[in-house]
Amino acid sequence: MTSSLLAARLDGLLFFPVTAYGPDGSVDLDTFRAHVRGGIDAGAAAVFACCGTGEFHALTPEEFRACVSAAVAEAAGRVPVVAGAGYGTALAVQYARAAEEEGADGLLALPPYLVVPDQEGLRRHYTALADATGLDVVVYQRDNAVLAPATVAQLARHPRIVGLKDGVGDLDLMQRIVSAVRTAEPGGEFLYFNGLPTAELTSPAYRGIGVTLYSSAAFCFVPEIAVAFHRALAGGDEATVRRLLDGFYRPLVELRDKGRGYAVSLVKAGVRLRGLDVGGVRPPLSEPAAAHVEELAALVERGLALLAEDARADGERPHGA
């Protein structure tokens, strides 16, 4: 395991932008760029383009290239751009090479398509992907790609596999993975990410086993809340963490669980509610029910009100208190 330039830069809020579509259903690059630009200006530490929230599965190779290129142009070196790469090994390699050609700084290796491989198959898949380009790779475990601790320890030895994003939520498994990699590579640098759909809800638990990085879908549409939560969590402000968990994030998860695909479609609805028309989702996803969008609007208002209350409370405290 070697030192990674990308790994050194992935420190802070990780922004997974949605992909914008115009009225005719085609990719709207101008709106996508505005979305990416807004996220970077709001404090994103990295842009993960064309990943799960960005509907990687729904993009043509040409659209993928265009979106990665647009994200790289908007980032302009201020923050790294990591692109999704998925499907079977041969196609994942093609997407990885396209991302490298368009200037991406790294890859998020999405689960392989459909099949449920064994550990050796997963090791070969991610190794081939990492061998295909000069880009650093973060492996995303979820669904049909759940890795054993020994497999992660093997992958961590690859000079371009720099981290693991967990979308499973099994803390026992994650603790064993962290321990296995630490034992196999004492003193090595390997990153771990909480990649659950609304990661803030479980971030306090993940921090208990040393996993401090997380992807924030909420950042797409309420960056103010996401930044405030991240700052409170990192700074040990447990009162603010609890207030935002109870008043915003737990209700958001409960709303998200009311419909299939809401981890993406509800996020896009949130972006539209905040004034940027990024369009809907492409099939096979569907739009959230109107009543659920209304619930989301009320929840956003509640979350912003919590921030306003905190700001007023800070203003009323005596100087130096």
Domains observed in the chain = 5-235 (3.20.20.70)
Flag whether pLDDT at 320 surpasses 70: no
Which residue among 21, 95, 126, 165 is the active-site one? Answer: 165
Which residue among 140, 206, 214, 262 is the active-site one? Answer: 140
Flag whether pLDDT at 210 surpasses 80: yes
Q: Is 258 a catalytic residue?
A: no
What is the pLDDT averaged over residues 153-177? 97
Who contacts 265 (Cβ-Cβ below 8 Å, separation ≥6)?
A: 259, 280, 281, 285, 286, 287, 288
The string of DSSP codes covering 142-174 is BTTB---HHHHHHHHTSTTEEEEEE-S--HHHH
What is the pLDDT averaged over residues 14-23? 98
Flag whether pLDDT at 11 surpasses 60: yes
Virtual torsion, Cα 23, 94, 46, 278, nearest 10 deg: 10
Flag whether pLDDT at 58 surpasses 60: yes
Mean pLDDT of the chain: 95
Flag whether pLDDT at 57 surpasses 90: yes
Query: pLDDT digits over 79-101, tens only?
Result: 999 999 999 999 999 999 999 99
Band the pLDDT of 318: cuts 50, 70, 90: low
Band the pLDDT of 321: cuts 50, 70, 90: very low
Q: Which amino acid is at 296?
A: L
Query: pLDDT digits over 220-272, tens only?
Result: 999 999 999 999 999 999 999 999 999 999 999 999 999 999 999 999 999 99
Q: Is 21 a catalytic residue?
A: no
Phi, psi dihedral angles at 216 (to 5 degrees):
-115, 105
Taking every pair of Cα atoms in the chain, the longest distance, rounded to a whole number of angstroms, is 62
pLDDT of residue 5: 79
Under 8 Å between Cβ of 287 and 266: no
Residue 163: which of 203, 205, 107 has the closest Cα? 107
Instruction: Give pTM, 2 decimals.
Output: 0.94
What's the chain's Rg over C-alpha atoms? 19
pLDDT of residue 2: 42
Query: pLDDT digits over 100-153, tens only?
Result: 999 999 999 999 999 999 999 999 999 999 999 999 999 999 999 999 999 999
Distance of CA 191 to the CA centre of its chain: 14
Positive or negative, the CA dihedral 201, 205, 209, 212 is: positive
